[in-house]
Amino acid sequence: MASRAQKHLVLILAREFASNLATPMLITDERGTLIFFNEAAEGIVGRTFSETGERSLDEWSERASARTLDSEPIPLERRAAAITLYERRPAHQQLLITALDGSERRIELTAFPLFAHGDEFLGVVLIFWPLGEE
């Protein structure tokens, strides 16, 4: 039986924090693996976290098929989550995604890096919300 690596305390606390928010939030580890999204995010994601489970960056970013608001594909390296993951800096973006239930969602998101001690990078937090019609 394969054992799962213990998560860093900061990621555990981030998950606890997210689970108590009414703001949609998603958390990844330092490799970009989706490790949690809260109940508030379920309506945008299109499924519950218990239904999806942990997913690699490639898998969850491919499924979302992020596009500009004009429906132009956004390369992975230009997506806010990837910018934060690879460059270790905050990023903000408006985009069109395909939810796991197959419906399209216009969202706005802010991604920021999680650090423990100085430069110990632990993952990314994405806070997002539906984008209102203009």
Instruction: Supply the pTM of this predicted model.
Output: 0.86
- Measured distance CA(7)–CA(112) in Å, rounded: 19
Quote the tokens at residue 95. 């985009």
What the chain holds in terms of domains, given with CATH numbers, is 9-130 (3.30.450.20)
Which H or E run includes 10?
helix 9-19
Residue 108 class from Cβ within 10 Å (0-12 exposed, 13-18 middle, 19+ buried)? middle
Q: pLDDT tens string for the chain (134 positions)?
A: 454 678 888 999 999 999 999 999 999 999 999 999 999 999 999 999 999 889 887 787 777 789 999 999 999 899 999 999 999 999 999 999 998 888 999 999 999 999 998 889 999 999 999 987 54
DSSP state for residue 23 in the 8-state scheme: S
